[in-house]
Amino acid sequence: MPIVDAQIHLWSQGPPDNKSHRQVAAFTAEEAIALMDEAGVDAAVIHLAPWDPDCHRVAVEAVEKYPGRLAMLGELPLDDPGSKGRLAGLREQPDFLGLRYILIAEPQRQWLRNGDIDWLWAEAEAAGIPITLMATDSMNVIARIAKRHPGLRLTIDHLGGRGGLTPLKDHEAMAHMTELLALAEHPNVAVKATGAPSYSTETYPFPIMQDYVRQIFEAFGPERTFWGTDISKMPCSWRECITMFTEEMPWLGADDQRLVMGDAVCAWWGWDRTS
């Protein structure tokens, strides 16, 4: 069964200003690949590290060095008028799978809510570019976008939460769950079950978070629920992040495991690892 991590960060200019991540100057592709080999992770998708101004180069070079094992989600500046009209050419970059945006802080949150970035959804839909979002307080807005653009594949970050941007844990960190599960009615919305252990005050196998993963799985199904880690802020090993799903969730059958642990995210983002 291929194991594909839906989210990691690489960086060269640290330490991260997000204190939930490892406070090291760099986390390189070579370090990631070594840890992946040790844990049994076949491939991973790089998300740009917002604290590193050189993160795009780091990601591109990693993908070029490790084709089939690393791919990436990129970013176009939303406040740059020059970004409009550029989406169509993004797929020409090898193993470029889509765009990812954090829309929690201002002014980005307001751009989402007042329509300033509506051009993004239309252009991405036309170009076939998937978009991943962290937008915990704006699920109702995302629902409208999904309905308006049925050909646009949207993915919600970190079980719908704020990832390392919140100190809240356990049930308090999942207070948005009702709004997230309501998005399941839109067939073009998926959820990354990434970083679940980091929301927990418990030890492995993190039973409270398992319950929330199951709620997401039952609402979105195996083809729209993606395992992953955001490994640089996990309180456990990469291997334990895997076995939390493959050994500690008996309700996740073999066929569902294959989808959740890698096949589904590759299909959703269009990553042909054999090409």
pLDDT digits (tens, 9 = 90+) for 35-76: 999 999 999 999 999 999 999 999 999 999 999 999 999 999
- Global pTM? 0.97
The overall average pLDDT reported for the chain is 96
Helix (H/G/I), strand (E/B), else coil: 192: strand
**What is the token pair recorded at 8?**
């990691």
Rounded to 5°, the CA angle 223-234-248 comes to 55
d(CA 163, CA 181): 17
In the chain, domain spans: 4-269
Residues in the chain: 275
pLDDT of residue 78: 92
Give, in order, the Cα–Cα distances in Å from 80 to each of 77, 88, 145, 235. Answer: 5, 16, 21, 37
The pLDDT tens digits of the residues spanning 65-124 come to 999 999 999 999 998 888 888 888 887 888 999 999 999 999 999 999 999 999 999 999
DSSP string computed for 64-91: HHSTTTEEEEE---TT-GGGTT-GGGGG
- Give the model confidence (pLDDT) of 214-227 as tens digits: 999 999 999 999 99
Q: Which CATH number fits domain 4-269: 3.40.50.10160, 3.20.20.140, 3.40.50.1820, 3.90.650.10?
A: 3.20.20.140
